[in-house]
Amino acid sequence: MKKTFPIAVQAVMIDLDGTLLDTIPDLAAAANLMLEALGHAPLPLDTVRNFVGKGIPRLVERALARDIDGHADAAAMAKALPLFERFYTEVNGRYTTVYPGVREGLEQFRAGGFPLACVTNKSGAFTLPLLERMGMAHFFAQTISGDTLARKKPDPMQLLHACAQFCVAPERMLMIGDSVNDALAARAAGCPVFCVPYGYNEGLEVQSLDVDAIVGALTECIPLIIKG
């Protein structure tokens, strides 16, 4: 059931790729360097954009199959995944940009006394280096990556872990994301959820998601919540 506004919130979780940062140029560069090394043709940027959302191994598998629903055999993945990770380590943050309103929104959350957690499906080896390179790591009291726990979004485990670490009940912990993974994880955890329309949703319209609000920027969140 959707909430009525303003929503009482004690802390906030925010997705990374597609919500805080536009990382597609880095991911596409790494994917195409991997494909080139394997003797395959590169993929267009917009194709890679639709492949993002289920973590790096799934991105690599989709890139190998050149299909969002595609699969690759274990031998191909064993060869491709280390290549991608090597290239992505080299380019991580090089071409990434911060979405409009993100820094201002993070400052507003901090000024409002809302502790922040970054909850992402990105591997931990890439998450903190990227946040640090973009000058955003200091905003987050928690950073929960795709390999921090046994399961990741759309499973609710990461969100419930963040709630427990902040000692906040799920119904008082807001999730902000850009995709079906964020919406499903939040609903399963019992958290209110907002989505931005500019991110990566595996080719789906964000308007189709079960969320409490669609916000054009992080700066639009504060009027919709109260501390409590």
Sheet of strand 11-14: strand arrangement: 142-144, 116-119, 11-14, 173-177, 193-195, 213-214
Both tokens assigned to 217? 């920027």
Specify the DSSP class assigned to residue 174: E
β-partners of residue 106 are: none
C-alpha to C-alpha distance for 27 and 61, rounded to whole angstroms: 13
Q: Are 92 and 126 in contact (CB under 8 A)?
A: yes
C-alpha to C-alpha distance for 32 and 87, rounded to whole angstroms: 9
73 is catalytic: no
Out of 15, 22, 26, 178, the active site residue is: 15
> Any idea which residues carry the catalytic annotation?
15
